Amino acid sequence: MDPSSLNSAELQRLISQEKERAVVNEMVAKLTSACWDKCITGTPGSKFSSSESSCLSNCAQRYMDMSIIIMKRFQSTQ
The CA distance from 70 to 9, in Å, is: 35
**Interface with another protein includes 45 (CB under 8 A)?**
yes
Length of the chain: 78
What is the radius of gyration, based on Cα positions, of the chain? 19
Q: At its nearest, how many Å lie between another protein and the CB of residue 78?
A: 26
Pick from 29, 66, 69, 70 the residue near another protein by CB under 8 A: 29
Q: Name the residue type at position 73.
A: R
The CA distance from 63 to 10, in Å, is: 34
Pick from 17, 67, 70, 72 the residue near another protein by CB under 8 A: 17
Q: Which residues bind another protein (CB under 8 A)?
A: 1, 3, 5-6, 8, 10-11, 14-15, 17-18, 20-22, 24-25, 27-29, 31-33, 35-36, 39-40, 43-48, 53, 56-57, 59-61, 64
